[in-house]
A and B are shown apart, each in its own frame.
Chain A
Amino acid sequence: MKVKDIALDGVVRQNPVFKLVLGTCPALAVSTSLANAIGMGAAVIFVLMCSNILVSLLRNVIPGSVRIPAFIMIIATFVTVVILAFDKFLPDLSSSLGMFLPLIVVNCLILARAEAFASANKVGAAALDGLFMGIGFTLALSVMAFIRELLGTGCLFGVEVLGGFSIGIFASSAGGFLVYGLLIAAFVAGSNAISAKNKKKQAAAEKAAKLQAAQAVAASETEVK
């Protein structure tokens, strides 16, 4: 697979939050604050990349019958590394993310990519898939958090920007579902519009190519006569 395809799949075409609807629990819980969303995204990128690399390296060693427990153990190891590092160097972020850091272990996105991609591809491709899926996850969470924090609290990164104005529902769980649903709808509508446009372009290009070929045949027949 080309790097461009892996990148586009991870960030746009197969966006884990808006398209595949994976990792919904942290997406809703952590997106109340932009700082938390970016922090969670960074943690997921690290775990995704490392677990994908290791799973890919061991893909011919781990028997199929125990691949899931093996993948979970590998993912849990890297999540523990992240927790230890956050506690040491980013204690405020660690405290803010709370139980959702350890819950990365059971984030469907990470196990799904290990099972569906890393276990069937080479290390380089697996690492890139982990990176771009993680970036897609981070961007999705950041967009949700931007909307929810701005409208729900009137702040961004804890700094007041709307002069005290806020719509409380966006900071609540109900608002989280609302924003999530609307963003999925917008994302699907946008990607459908783009693919329809691309299909039109492709159809027009094929038509033009057929016409050209027909004209070339007609011209060569006239020459022969």
Chain B
Amino acid sequence: MNIDQIKKEFPIFDEKIQNNDLVYLDSANSSQKPKVVVDRINEFYTKQFSNVGRSVHYLAVAATNLYENTRSSVQKYINAKDKNEIVFTKGATEALNLIANTLGQSYLQEGDEVLITELEHHSNYVPWHFLRKSKNIKINFAEINEEGEITVEEIEKKITPKTKLISITHLSNVTGAILPVKEITQLAHSKGIIVVVDGCQGAPHLKLDMQELDCDFYAISCHKMYGPTGLGVLYGKKKWLEELPPYQGGGGMINEVKKDRISYGELPNKYEAGTMATAQVIAFDQSIKFLESIGIENVMKHEANLVEYGQELLQKNNSVKLIGNPKNKGGVLSFTIEGVHPHDIATILDEDGVAIRAGHHCCQILHDKLNIPASARASVGIYNTKEDLDQLNESINNCKKIFNL
């Protein structure tokens, strides 16, 4: 695998960012886009555009086929059993809200408990909080260990007879911990508990096999997966998606509408009300093809090498403190520098063209637990190289110099 060649497929790296070469270390936030994805959006709008699933004219039929092709590609990519288990949403956030909302309407009852973890992104906490307010459910938190991991034992400890649902991240966007989702699911299912997985960080970087993981729901963010913004995927087991009520009402999701009654459409239309992000869906097929052309095993190997290299580099750098040291770690390096606030780090690194994120990364619960208001985070993607991490380290040194450390 030739990373230089892969990097060339991303037009943004031809740009000078404030006179610097771009060292993009913010892929956990959002990934850059390969040319094939950008071109596909342009091509669809210029040569093939029509709305999907409605009209019978030539363009509409062709666009509908393209749209449904992506659904099939996603199904294959994540090894879902049925094409109708793939629902497009406006993002992973909407996917998680959809699950919480529909389960809240028809499954969770007052007093039921939902178990999440201290690693969760706000989008896998706030939707459950809505149910805490509206349905009086209880939210419990599985706690991280010293390394910033969530173990199966910790999950088991927090399960009570009232636990109805476990909702967990596949890969922490702060500590990088990869959770033992398969084992947690086995445990949960043995107790009749549903499992929801926030796959925002998992989907771009790990091999996905829904039938092997066996979770009930899995939420994907397409813009973190070298795809367009405004698009997410909700995977849900067919029996759940059939049983649960619709989420939004509108065109496209109905079967029959009368003054006194309405019946809803079949899957997946039931969950795709209104005009969807058509161009994004069609372009997302190219993201999947791009990932397939590299091979997810190669992606994982490359990123594991990068993280190991980056971890060693930063561990050797005095005054840099890495957050979490999980055995199974994805491409995330979160850190603090004693005496320099993360925002100051990010501004100083930016001057060298090094793009990282600073803040709480939508994980205030975790930062409270770690007793820090914020952290700096460098995260890698398929286009990153060891040289990028060398530059990160060098810019950190410059930052220390400015702050007289």
Whether both chains belong to one complex is answered with no
